[in-house]
Structures are given as C-alpha cells and as structure tokens.
Amino acid sequence: MLYTVRMEQTSENANRTPDTFKFRFSPVMIVLFAVLLALCAAGIGLTTWQLIDFLKGDITSAYQWMKFVLLYLVSILLAVLIVAMLVRSRYVVTEKELILQFGFIKSKFLISKIYSVRLFKGSHKLAVYFDDFKTEYTVIVVNEKWYDDFVKALTARSSRITYDFTTAEEEENWKNNKKN
C-alpha cells in the first residue's frame, strides 16, 4: 500500500531564503577521506624530505625540479578536493531549483520537474522523482532527522509535488515479487 500526502503552498513561502541540508557521509567514506588526507600529508612530507636532500647536491636537474613541483601539486590538489567534499557537500533548495553540491561538483534540477518524493522506511532512503527521461530520480543522503524538513522545503515551493512513503513490509513484498 502506498500512502500519499499532498502539502499546500502558501503565499508566505514566496521569496524565502534557500534551505540547506548537509550531505551525510557513511562511516566508510569518512575513513576513506581520512586515509586519503593522511596519504596527501605523507606525500607532501616525503616530497619535502626528498627536496631537502636534493638541495644538498646538484640542483641543476630540470627533471628533478619538475618531479617535485608535480608531486606537490598532486598532493595539494587531492587534499583540497577532499576537504571541499567534506565541507561543501550539501543539498540546497531554492525557489526554483534543487542544487546538489558535492565539493566543486554542482548539479541543478528544476523544482518544476519534480513530481514526487518517496521515503522508503525499510531501507531508510529518501528519493526524489523527476518527470523528465534524462533524470528519473535521485536519492537524497541527509540525516534521517531532516527528512521531514527536506520534504517540507520542496513541497513549499511547488504544490504539484507529492510525498509518498512505503513501509518495510511493502518493500520486502516488492523485492520478493521482483525475484519471481
């Protein structure tokens, strides 16, 4: 059974400030980011150690200078990308767009193209469905406590967006029917 709740748009919602929801990283991703940042620090440390050793000898080798510049650039750029992903990964709901930011990568979706938001209670996933064929849906990865606020932010900007939810039993039945 599918439950649908229609939320109304009021005039007081016009020209509101954008709502921002921080991306929720899994513990595995946080550990991966920490390991990558440690590797960046190790890369910078080892390159510095090799550079100091190099400066004690013959410093005329262009190849060695290029190697140090390249190693520093790669280590620093990777560290900047990782920090940007940790700091600027979020969902922003504006009057006309749903913006997904993942570090420096930004995707924009028109709110007018969203027709449904569905909460899968069994798997604890929130999905946004679009009415175009290019992007059928996207899964929203925020703190579960923010699901209601996220849905309210979307439905306040468009009266055509419906909110559905399925129970864990319905999801299990759907999976079993799909296997058969």
pLDDT value at 9 more than 60: no
pTM over 0.85: no
pLDDT of residue 1: 42
Q: Of 175 and 42, which is predicted with more confidence?
A: 42
Q: Where are the beta strands (DSSP E) in the chain?
A: 3-6, 19-22, 90-93, 97-102, 105-110, 114-120, 125-130, 137-140, 162-166
Q: Where are the beta strands (DSSP E) in 24-136?
A: 90-93, 97-102, 105-110, 114-120, 125-130
Share of the chain above pLDDT 70, in %: 87
Cα dihedral 117→147→3→173 (10° resolution): 90
Per residue in 55-85, pLDDT tens?
988 888 889 899 999 999 999 999 999 999 9
| The two three-digit tokens of residue 97, written as one number | 């767009």
Kindly report the CATH class assigned to 3-25+90-179: mainly beta
